[in-house]
Amino acid sequence: MISSRIRLKVQSVKAVKDPENRECFQIDFVEVRQRPPVVMMSSPEVPEEISQMVVQVTKGLQGVMPGAGKTEYEQRKLTLILTGEELEAFSFRPYPNQIIELNITEGRLEFKNI
């Protein structure tokens, strides 16, 4: 049995109308991922002292850039458009910045509050 667990954040909840002109709620989810570490490589022809200095300068510049201190990033993942009845059956009230866990198992989507 293959299953997948994804950490999601509710990005927005909006009132919209569907093609049949019914009042609905659009819920946008983004996946919260860990930012991979930055790996610095230098050419083997460059002397070791210069290579270390370049790495230190580059890390220093990356530290002052906007967003440098963040350890996570967000990627758009899922949008649900639900009527009021469907949202009631959904069994939880999503709100912006809420963190949830999505488990995908054998064709089922299971949402769980964290």
Q: What does the pLDDT look like over 22-80, one tens digit per residue?
A: 999 999 999 988 877 666 666 778 788 887 888 788 777 766 766 666 678 889 999 99
For the record, the structure tokens of 63 come out as 């530290």
Separation CA 50–CA 68 (nearest Å): 24
Q: What is the pLDDT of residue 92?
A: 79
**Cβ atoms 33, 70 nearer than 8 A:** no
**Cβ atoms 58, 18 nearer than 8 A:** no
Based on the structure, what is the number of domains in the chain?
1
Separation CA 7–CA 112 (nearest Å): 10
pLDDT exceeds 90 at position 18: no
Using 50, 70 and 90 to split pLDDT, how confident is the model at 8? very high
102 in any annotated domain? yes
81 in any annotated domain? yes
107 in any annotated domain? yes
**Which residues are CB-contacts of 91 (< 8 A; sequence separation ≥ 6)?**
none
Give the pTM.
0.69
12 in any annotated domain? yes
Q: What is the pLDDT of residue 49?
A: 82
Q: What is the pLDDT of residue 55?
A: 77
68 in any annotated domain? yes
Q: What is the pLDDT of residue 77?
A: 94
pLDDT exceeds 70 at position 85: yes
Q: What is the pLDDT of residue 62?
A: 66
